Structure 1
Amino acid sequence: MSKLEVFLNNKLLPIASRLQQNKVLAALMEGFIRTSPITLGIAFITIIGNFPIPAWIEFLTKIGIYPHVEAITNGATGVFSLYVVYSLAYSYAKQLEANERNSALISLASFIMLMPQSISTTVMKDGQQVTQAIGALKLDFLGGQGLFIGMITALLMTRLYAFLSKKKMMLKLPESVPPMVTQSLSPVFVVTLIFVLVFILRVLFGFTASGSIFQFFIDVISAPLNSLAASPLSIIFIVELLAILWFFGIHNAVLQGPLGMITMTMIVTNIGAFQKGEKLPFLIPSVIYMGMYAAGFMGFVTFFMIRSKSAKMKQLGKLSFVPSLFNITEPIMFGMPIILNPIFFIPQIFTQLIAGFITWGLTTTILPITLNPTMSLLPWTTPTFVKMPLSGGLNYTILMIICMLIGIMMWYPFIKIADKKEYELELAVEQENKKESKLEHMKDEIQA
């Protein structure tokens, strides 16, 4: 392991450092880190509100508390794309030396302008149910499904604003005008031009079958998967695709349609066969899915972070540990960040892929699994180390441990590399602060 760490430090770290100097990547990393208070702050309420005991959720619903839990969760993660757009545009504008607040507000406005602003609903009219369009923003596009479009919008609009601002298109105001007013009014021509381009883009995508850039993106990504049937290869392909897209900031919600269709087909069919005492038709795909899920368990990643030398990683690990146990990964994905971080490309992309094929091989040879598919209906916050033993007993537990060990072996050296890099940066900042403090002390002595 030490030889691997040395190799990765000598070969990977310099490449990752050069990539992180890129203004877009630097802005993405800073923008995601700035959103971490939201994902960390909501984690406790999400865990309590979705605690993996069905009777608890039923109790909260009965006493009228659960809708408020959902409201708080939606206020954070349900509109998370809004926070990412603002934060990312702000960070990128700083890299480009443009006005941060103007860039962030323009990007946020452009994002909402591109979004569908009506939804269909069923209402009663003259005693009959009729479909009617009402003015509203779809929460899906404000959350995970709109995240990637939000990132692109923030980067492009900020870059365009910075470019046009330097082309002497800003409105000149007298020096007597207060700076706050000048900053607000001077970019009026630039902003008008940007919004005209946004209007054209919205109209063009409105002529497509999808109707909007958001739905167009989802259709393009999910279309090839809609025809897939549940099989070992299709499950490996889809879960691996999720890992790849997640690295590039495309939330799993984008594929919830085809993935949900396949997984629910497996669950319902398996439960029906289980109740009849028949062989489970989708046993192997279901086991592979959970094996890959176990390899992607982030609890051990946060555990390694807690034991880091870097103060940043240690603190983030402590804050993310409990949420990660309950499958809430956003704090670490955005807080580290893992998304678009070159250091974590290999473990994020290859861990679950390796686990998928190993699970397939073990399950069909030396480690047969007897599965209780009704356990698949447990809430999504049920910890993996609880769900898998309950679902398949000893052999399933052994498989879970093997898959988690694969995850540990894949992530550990890269966490060490990231820790080393962060620790060196913190030492450099500490030394710089000491020098500045010493200079200030010397100045005070001279003045005295």
Structure 2
Amino acid sequence: MDKLEQFLSSKLLPMSEKLQKNKVLAALMEGFIRTSPITLGIAFITILGNFPIPGWTDYLSKIGVFPHVEAITNGATGVFSLYVVYSLAYAYAKQLGANERNSSIISLASFVMLMPQQVMTTVTQDGQVVEQAIGALKLDYLGGQGLFIGMIVALLVTRVYAFLSKKNIMLKLPESVPPMVTQSLSPVFVVTIIFAVVFVIRVLFGFTPSGNVFQFFMEVINAPLNSLVASPISIILIMELLAVLWFFGIHNAVLQGPLGAISLTMVVGNITAFQQGQELPYLIPSVIYMGMFASGFMGFVTFFMIKSKSAKMKQLGKLSFIPSIFNITEPIMFGMPIILNPIFFIPQVLTQLIAGFLTWGLTTTILPVSLNPTMSLLPWTTPTFIKMPLSGGLNYTIIMVLSMIVGIVMWYPFIKIADKKEYELELAAEAKEKEQSAEQLKAEGIQA
């Protein structure tokens, strides 16, 4: 393992450091890290509202608490794209030497301008139920489904703003005008140009069958998968695609169409057959799905982080450990970040692929599984190490353990590499701080 770490360090770290000097990647990493207080802060309420006890959610709904849990969750993760757009634009503007606040607010406005702003609902008129369009923004596009478009908008708008700001098209105001007012009013021509471009983009996508850029993007991503049926290879393909897209900041919600259709087919088909005492039609795909899910269990990753030398990774590991146990991965995905971090490309992309084929091979040869599909109805926050043993007994538990071992083997060396890098940065920052303090004391001594 040590030789592997040394090899990866010698090859990966130089490449990673070179890539992270890129202004876009640096801004992406900083932008995601800045959103980590939101994902960490909401984790406890998310776990509490979806605690893996049968009937818990129904009980919260009965006493009138669950709608408030949903409201708090939606206020954080349901509109998460808004926070990413603002944070990313701010970080990128800093890299480009542009006004951070102006870039952030203009990017945020452009993002909202591109959204559909009408939602169809049903109302009662003259005793009849009719459909009516109301002015509203869909949480779908404000949350995970809009994340990738939000990233693109933040980067492009900020880049254009920085470019145009350096041209002589800024509004000139007298020096007597307060700086805050000058900073707010001087880019008015630049902002007008940006909003005009946003208008043209909105109109162009409005003429497509999709109707808007968000729906267009989701249909392009979903199109190759919509014809897939629940089979071992389709499950491996979709889960692997989720892992790849997640690395590039494209949230799993984008694929909820084909994934939801396939998973619902498996769940309903298996439960129906199970209740009738028949052979489960989607046994192997279901087992593969959970095997791949188990390999992506991030509890081990956060545990390794707690044992790190780096203060940043140690603290983030402690904060992310409990959420990761309950399958809430956003704190570590955005906090490390894992998204668009070159160091973590290999484990993020290959771990579940390896576990998928391993699970497929084991299930069809030496570890056949007798599955109780009703356990799939447990809340999504049910820890994997509880759900899988309850669902399939000893053989399923062995598959879970082996899948988790794949995850441990894949992630451990890369966590060590990241820890080494962060620890060296922290030591360098500490040395610099001590040097500056010594120089300051020396200067004060000379003045005295």
TM-score tier by shorter-chain length is: over 0.9
Q: Secondary structure at the match of 1:124?
A: strand
Task: Write the deviation string for residues 236-291 of structure 1: whole angstroms up to 9, x where unpaired.
Answer: 00000000000000000000111000001000000000001111000000000000
Query: What is residue 406 of structure 2 aligned with on the other side?
Result: 406
State the alpha-carbon separation in 1 of the partners of residues 107 and 262 from structure 2.
Answer: 36
State the alpha-carbon separation in 1 of the partners of residues 336 and 53 from structure 2.
Answer: 30
Query: What is residue 415 of structure 1 aligned with on the other side?
Result: 415
Query: What is residue 143 of structure 1 aligned with on the other side?
Result: 143
Query: What is residue 295 of structure 2 aligned with on the other side?
Result: 295
TM-score normalised per structure 2:
1.00
Query: What is residue 394 of structure 1 aligned with on the other side?
Result: 394
Task: Write the deviation string for residues 385-416 of structure 1: whole angstroms up to 9, x where unpaired.
Answer: 01000000111000000000000000000000
Query: What is residue 259 of structure 2 aligned with on the other side?
Result: 259
For residues 273-422 of structure 1, what are the structure 2 equivalents within 5 Å? 273-422=273-422
Check if 1:33 corresponds to 2:42. Answer: no
State the alpha-carbon separation in 1 of the partners of residues 227 and 131 from structure 2.
Answer: 29
Q: Name the amino acid aligned to 2:319.
A: L
Query: What is residue 113 of structure 1 aligned with on the other side?
Result: 113
State the alpha-carbon separation in 1 of the partners of residues 55 and 210 from structure 2.
Answer: 40
TM-score normalised per structure 1:
1.00
Query: What is residue 158 of structure 2 aligned with on the other side?
Result: 158
State the alpha-carbon separation in 2 of the partners of residues 411 and 92 from structure 1.
Answer: 29
- Displacement of 1:424 in angstroms is 0.1
Q: How well do the aligned residues superpose, as a CA RMSD in angstroms?
A: 0.5
Query: What is residue 18 of structure 1 aligned with on the other side?
Result: 18
Q: Which residues of structure 2 form unaligned runs of 5+?
A: none
Q: Name the amino acid aligned to 2:410.
A: M
Q: Name the amino acid aligned to 1:173.
A: L
State the alpha-carbon separation in 1 of the partners of residues 398 and 226 from structure 2.
Answer: 33
Check if 1:4 corresponds to 2:4. Answer: yes
- Displacement of 1:444 in angstroms is 1.8
Q: Which residues of structure 1 form unaligned runs of 5+?
A: none
Query: What is residue 429 of structure 1 aligned with on the other side?
Result: 429
Task: Write the deviation string for residues 134-159 of structure 1: whole angstroms up to 9, x where unpaired.
Answer: 00000000000000000000000000
State the alpha-carbon separation in 2 of the partners of residues 315 and 428 from structure 1.
Answer: 19
Query: What is residue 131 of structure 2 aligned with on the other side?
Result: 131
- Displacement of 1:443 in angstroms is 1.4
Task: Write the deviation string for residues 171-218 of structure 1: whole angstroms up to 9, x where unpaired.
Answer: 111111110000000000000000000000000000000000000000
State the alpha-carbon separation in 2 of the partners of residues 308 and 26 from structure 1.
Answer: 23
Query: What is residue 81 of structure 1 aligned with on the other side?
Result: 81
Q: Secondary structure at the match of 1:132?
A: strand
State the alpha-carbon separation in 1 of the partners of residues 3 and 280 from structure 2.
Answer: 45
- Displacement of 1:127 in angstroms is 1.4
State the alpha-carbon separation in 1 of the partners of residues 56 and 379 from structure 2.
Answer: 11
- Displacement of 1:442 in angstroms is 1.1
Check if 1:226 corresponds to 2:242. Answer: no
Q: Secondary structure at the match of 1:337?
A: coil
Stretch deviating more after TM superposition (126-135 or 282-291): 126-135
State the alpha-carbon separation in 1 of the partners of residues 128 and 365 from structure 2.
Answer: 59
- Displacement of 1:359 in angstroms is 0.4
Q: Name the amino acid aligned to 1:391.
A: S
Q: Name the amino acid aligned to 1:55.
A: G
For residues 48-67 of structure 1, what are the structure 2 equivalents within 5 Å? 48-67=48-67
Q: Name the amino acid aligned to 2:9.
A: N
Query: What is residue 187 of structure 2 aligned with on the other side?
Result: 187
- Displacement of 1:122 in angstroms is 1.0
Query: What is residue 202 of structure 2 aligned with on the other side?
Result: 202
- Displacement of 1:54 in angstroms is 2.4
State the alpha-carbon separation in 1 of the partners of residues 25 and 88 from structure 2.
Answer: 10
State the alpha-carbon separation in 2 of the partners of residues 313 and 215 from structure 1.
Answer: 37
Query: What is residue 211 of structure 1 aligned with on the other side?
Result: 211
Task: Write the deviation string for residues 301-327 of structure 1: whole angstroms up to 9, x where unpaired.
Answer: 000000000000000000000000000
State the alpha-carbon separation in 2 of the partners of residues 120 and 55 from structure 1.
Answer: 32
Query: What is residue 178 of structure 1 aligned with on the other side?
Result: 178
Q: Name the amino acid aligned to 2:345.
A: F
Q: Name the amino acid aligned to 1:171.
A: L
Q: Secondary structure at the match of 1:380?
A: coil
Q: Secondary structure at the match of 1:294?
A: helix
Q: Name the amino acid aligned to 1:147.
A: L
- Displacement of 1:3 in angstroms is 0.7
